[in-house]
Amino acid sequence: MTTVRTASVADQLLIGTQHGAEPPVGAVVAIVEGEKTLLSTAGAASLEQSHAVAEAMTEQHVHDLASVSKVLTTLTMLRLRETGALRLTNTLGDFFGPSAGAHGAVTLDDLLRHRSGMRPWWPLYLAEESPLESILALPPSAPAGTKWQYSDLGMQALGAVIAHVTGQPFESSVQELTLSPLSANTVTPAGAYSEAPVASGGLGDAVERDMIASGDPYSVSADVRAAAAGFAWREHIIRDETADCNAFHAFGGVAGHAGWFSDAAGLLHVAAALADPVLAAELADVHGPQPAGAFRQGTGVRVYEQQWRGQQRTFVGHPGFTGTFIAAAPETASAPRVLMVVLTNRLHGAPPPARRALAPVDDLWRRAVGAADRILHEAGTGDST
């Protein structure tokens, strides 16, 4: 195994992005191609005032994965399908009976493909009911199967299904069925593994407070805004605790959509699973309503067409709002498998960036891919060990 260490790839993520978006403070990029590994770090893991100087980002730093966590939910669902514990044609009504309400006919496949009709987001932590009760009580925004609409609530419902089927907490099921078999020991729920360095995130719950106050991008009712005014929002810099408010406040740290943490090495183990040719083919199966944009919706993951080594490769993966990304392309007859992990702390900073000024995660990933492609296949720079 050849390892190339260079700051060049991660540096590319810190020099600004398209549309004037603010770049991350620090970044880690890890790419495995066949028997070659590229590791790149740049910038700061923390700019907290408690540090005399900025804390440099390293390969060992753990990051809040945000929606990259959805990949773990997907893999666990498919593992339960493999054991015969469920079918993707099962409906929420099969598991929750009349409590599923208007969502009773929604299938697990609908949820994985973001065509369930469930709302994209809702501040469940402001409701008196349990998170699942609140999700199932919310009216659909579209009939199931008719429209692609990215939904955190749908993935939260899948997490509840996993807990229901296994009879144990959601996070325990993910660790037992998915992470332990992959030896992904540094992927942990609701915080970093013991004594690991952790990258700092944003300032408290500022992003979601602004979402509720402004109604952008999702409008909420007047009673929700009133409840938010008296809520015990976090106001410290988020570090080693889940940034997502529903995962943290409503679910206690981890849920089907967010709440997992990892360093680059741990997430590469998960990427290796995505690169399995049989699994990758199922994940990359694209059908039904699709988003307009740079990706297509597969089974619980996004499907990207990306140039790599002069060829167009099909990657399956997922971004995370905190500035994280996982992607993998299986081995083909003419090209080795490729695993990619990008970890940044784009929510960190002083003052913190506004949500609309954040660097798009897909842009960060594509920029990292381009820089790594040049280094690994053309320049050959870096120290090999």
What CATH number has the domain bearing residue 82? 3.40.710.10
Residues 6+ apart with CB under 8 A from 36: 1, 2, 3, 4, 376
Residues 6+ apart with CB under 8 A from 279: 78, 273
User: Within this chain, do residues 172 and 271 fall inside the same structural domain, yes or no?
Assistant: no
User: Within this chain, do residues 271 and 342 fall inside the same structural domain, yes or no?
Assistant: yes
Q: Is residue 334 part of a domain?
A: yes
User: Within this chain, do residues 193 and 283 fall inside the same structural domain, yes or no?
Assistant: yes
User: Within this chain, do residues 195 and 302 fall inside the same structural domain, yes or no?
Assistant: yes
Q: Can you tell me the distance from the alpha carbon of 75 to that of 238, in angstroms, rounded to the nearest whole number?
A: 28
Q: Is residue 197 part of a domain?
A: yes
Q: Is residue 228 part of a domain?
A: no
User: Within this chain, do residues 261 and 379 fall inside the same structural domain, yes or no?
Assistant: yes
Q: Can you tell me the distance from the alpha carbon of 256 to that of 161, in angstroms, rounded to the nearest whole number?
A: 9
Q: Is residue 246 part of a domain?
A: no
Burial class of 118 by CB neighbour count within 10 A (0 to 12, 13 to 18, 19+): buried
Q: Which two tokens stand for residue 168?
A: 């144990």
User: Within this chain, do residues 196 and 342 fall inside the same structural domain, yes or no?
Assistant: yes
**Residue 379: what pLDDT?**
47
Q: Is residue 164 part of a domain?
A: yes
Q: Can you tell me the distance from the alpha carbon of 311 to that of 308, in angstroms, rounded to the nearest whole number?
A: 5
CA distances from 247 to 17, 116, 254, 256 (A): 29, 20, 5, 8
Q: Is residue 239 part of a domain?
A: no
Cβ atoms of 184 and 176 within 8 Å: the answer is no
**Residue 26: what pLDDT?**
97
Q: Is residue 291 part of a domain?
A: yes
Of 147, 179, 211, the residue at which a domain comes to its end is 179
Q: Look up the domain containing 116 and give its range.
A: 71-179
Residues 6+ apart with CB under 8 A from 370: 12
User: Within this chain, do residues 62 and 81 fall inside the same structural domain, yes or no?
Assistant: no
User: Within this chain, do residues 46 and 143 fall inside the same structural domain, yes or no?
Assistant: no
User: Within this chain, do residues 345 and 258 fall inside the same structural domain, yes or no?
Assistant: yes
User: Within this chain, do residues 265 and 376 fall inside the same structural domain, yes or no?
Assistant: yes
User: Within this chain, do residues 197 and 292 fall inside the same structural domain, yes or no?
Assistant: yes
Q: Is residue 165 part of a domain?
A: yes
The residue length of the chain stands at: 385
How do 36-46 and 55-56 pair as beta strands?
Answer: antiparallel
Structural domain tally of the chain?
2
Q: Can you tell me the distance from the alpha carbon of 263 to that of 270, in angstroms, rounded to the nearest whole number?
A: 11
| pLDDT string in tens for the chain (385-residue length) | 788 898 899 999 998 665 668 899 999 999 999 889 999 999 999 998 776 789 999 999 999 999 999 999 999 999 999 999 999 999 999 999 999 999 999 999 999 999 999 999 999 999 999 999 999 999 999 999 999 999 999 999 999 999 999 999 999 999 999 999 999 999 999 999 998 999 999 999 999 999 999 999 999 999 999 999 999 999 999 999 999 999 999 999 999 999 999 999 999 999 999 999 999 999 999 999 999 988 999 999 999 999 999 999 999 999 999 999 999 999 999 999 999 999 999 999 988 888 888 888 999 999 999 999 998 886 444 333 3
Of 179, 211, 237, the residue at which a domain comes to its end is 179
Of 126, 145, 179, the residue at which a domain comes to its end is 179
User: Within this chain, do residues 193 and 297 fall inside the same structural domain, yes or no?
Assistant: yes
